[in-house]
Chains A and B, each alone.
Chain A
């Protein structure tokens, strides 16, 4: 609708302007639209995705001090060491908090309102993910498991589900 008004004003007045409905103030409508899509390196966390394909939740562990990193990272800042190994986390834990996103970013427009939860895994690390159960049925101390599902966009991602 705005485009039609802009087009009309360009033809009749000569410029891509509109009048703001509420204030009556004239606005220039930017002609230079920019779409953003980032290309992000996952080279050093490939085993995470390889694990996820098989339904495993992989974390990194510093060989020297034993610190576990999730989300995985390739360097241990405690030891100044990059000698890490990949370990599989037990996929069960306890839900700690939750929200339901009703007003979504436009890039998530194809989804219904989605619950997001944080759980503490029995192995120690916490994980934030969508919660596939009914948010109204969640009780304090709710036990959850990590599972993998295919997103509407077509890719695999982990989620939390009630046990």
Chain B
């Protein structure tokens, strides 16, 4: 058993339209820097986990594919899937494997090559991540539409506006413009968002995260291995919570919050020793699952950065920019950085490492005083939520 588990290596591919590489090449693009930052070689790895939702891409046996491409055979592996939270699910498997003492070094790779299929097919497939039979088959809900049902409910209940939602996109594009790995490295204004065509009312094109190719990789190590290797640069996993929601949205009590996220946050805060009534005071920043603009605001509330019904005020008052109450998605978030489904959760871990060790690119480095960073990764529409807390000092 290892009391503590650290992230000791990170890698991140360029996110975007990656017609220039195949799946294995895209994987290696993030694996190589992960090995280099950890100062390890493939032979050192005990176990590896690949998160990939797949369907839109050709290769299904990606663990085997990269075992071959990157000399990881015959080490143990698996592919895991939890919709858009697949990356965090892979982290969960690796984290528990190291924590249990079964392995000392685990490699976690998130990868998605969504653009191997045409956009309409991707839109069709991603809409099937909820209750296929009762909510997709007859009513054709798309992924934006599932969240739009929440966006509408939130506006109706609290008086938030489409302009408030647009401000989330503006912030995330502002930081995406400073992230060389982001799909969209371009600032936008509120007008651009409001004038873009409707995808699923009230969401417009610029309220939505894009269809993305990309990979991200981290290497996890036991406390003993960290000592043995004399690793200086690392961040510790201080806590992780996991929640699951009902398949049918119609089986839920409310649409202005995700119950699985509140549940996961409570567990993670407790495990990390963070006061659940004032978590923002313990964190230097966070990455939250902004697959659309409204869910970022709902995440502020589910994570208790503010009271229920006050999330839209945080973005109105620019409190989630650097220098505000708590910087959120200052890598561009899913919105501007891109959302390669299986890679997103791992990409958030990479960002936590970079922020805490003050390795973020100029203009998007948060002040690190408290030494803790939070990642909130949602699969489907609250069908799964993972909340992970990283820290410079172990508990």
Residues of A within 8 A of B (CB): 20, 22-23, 25, 27, 30, 40, 70-71, 96-108, 111, 114, 116, 118, 125-130, 135, 140, 151, 157
Q: Mark B226-265, 1 if CB is under 8 A from A, else 0.
A: 0000000000000000000000111110010000000000
Measured between beta carbons, the chain A residues less than 8 angstroms from B248 are 71, 128
Report yes or no: B19 in contact with A106, Cβ–Cβ below 8 A: no
Q: A99-B148, A102-B201, A111-B140 are in contact. List 7 more A-B contacts (CB 8 A).
A: A97-B152, A99-B201, A106-B120, A118-B250, A127-B250, A128-B135, A128-B250
**By DSSP majority rule, is chain A's interface helix, strand, loop, or mixed?**
mixed
Q: Using a CB-CB cutoff of 8 Å, which residues 113-162 of chain B contact chain A?
A: 120-121, 123-124, 127, 131, 133-135, 138-142, 144-145, 148-153, 156
Q: What is the bound-complex CA distance between A140 and B123, given in angstroms?
A: 30
Q: Judge whether B17 is part of the interface by a CB distance below 8 angstroms.
A: yes
- The interface of chain B, by Cβ under 8 A from chain A, is 17, 19-20, 58, 120-121, 123-124, 127, 131, 133-135, 138-142, 144-145, 148-153, 156, 197-202, 248-252, 255
Q: Are A108 and B140 in contact (CB under 8 A)?
A: yes
The smallest beta-carbon distance between B17 and chain A, in angstroms, is 7
How many angstroms from the CA of A102 to the CA of B20 in the assembled complex? 32
> What separation, in Å, do the CA atoms of A126 and B149 have in the docked complex?
14
Which residues in A have their C-beta under 8 angstroms from that of B134? 71, 128
Closest CB of chain B to A78's CB: distance in Å? Answer: 14
Closest A residue to B197 by CB, please name it: A102
Residues of A within 8 Å of B199, CB to CB, are 102-103
Provide the residues of chain A in CB contact with B140, threshold 8 Å: 101, 104-105, 107-108, 111, 114, 116
Whether the Cβ atoms of A103 and B123 lie closer than 8 Å is yes
18 A/B residue pairs, CB under 8 Å, sorted by A: A22-B17, A25-B20, A71-B134, A71-B250, A99-B202, A101-B141, A102-B197, A103-B123, A103-B144, A105-B140, A105-B142, A106-B120, A106-B123, A116-B139, A118-B149, A125-B250, A126-B252, A128-B134
Nearest neighbor of A125 in chain B, beta-carbon distance: B250
When distances are taken between beta carbons in the complex, the residues of chain B under 8 Å from A114 are 139-140
**Alpha-carbon distance A9/B121, docked complex (angstroms):** 24
* Selected contact of A105 from candidates B123, B138, B197, CB within 8 Å: B123
Evaluate contact between A99 and B17: CB separation under 8 angstroms.
Answer: no
CA distance A127 to B249 in the complex (A): 9
Closest to B253 in A: A126
**Residue of A40, A102, A106, A118 contacting most chain B CB atoms (<10 Å):** A102
Q: How far is the CA of A20 from the CA of B115 in the complex (A)?
A: 12
The answer on a CB contact under 8 Å between A20 and B153 is no
A100, B255: Cβ atoms closer than 8 Å = no
- With most chain B CB atoms within 10 A of its CB, the pick from A25, A108, A116 is A116
**From B147, which residue of chain A is reached at the shortest CB distance?**
A99
**CB nearest to B126 among chain A residues:** A105
> What distance in Å separates the Cβ of A72 from its nearest Cβ neighbour in chain B?
10
Q: Is the CB of A105 within 8 A of B198?
A: no
How many Å lie between the Cα of A20 and that of B149 in the bound state? 36
- Assess whether A106 is in contact with B250, with CB atoms less than 8 Å apart: no
- When C-beta atoms are compared, the residue in chain A nearest to B20 turns out to be A25
Contact A107 B58 (CB under 8 A): no
Minimum C-beta distance from B211 to chain A (A): 12
Ranked nearest first, the 8 interchain pairs of A and B with the lowest CB-CB distance are A99-B148, A105-B124, A108-B140, A97-B153, A100-B201, A126-B250, A20-B19, A25-B19
What is the CA–CA distance of A128 and B201 in the complex, to the nearest angstrom?
Answer: 16
Name, among A100, A125, A129, the residue most crowded by chain B CB atoms within 10 Å (CB to CB). Answer: A100
Residues of chain A with a CB closer than 8 A to B133's CB: 40
User: Which residues of chain A come closer than 8 Å to B250, judged between CB atoms?
Assistant: 70-71, 118, 125-128
Q: B139–A128 contact, CB under 8 A?
A: yes
Q: Which residues of B contact A40 (CB under 8 A)?
A: 133
Complex: A89 Cα to B256 Cα, angstroms: 26
What is the bound-complex CA distance between A143 and B369, given in angstroms?
52
Known contacts A103-B200, A118-B255, A126-B250: A98-B152 contact under CB 8 Å: yes
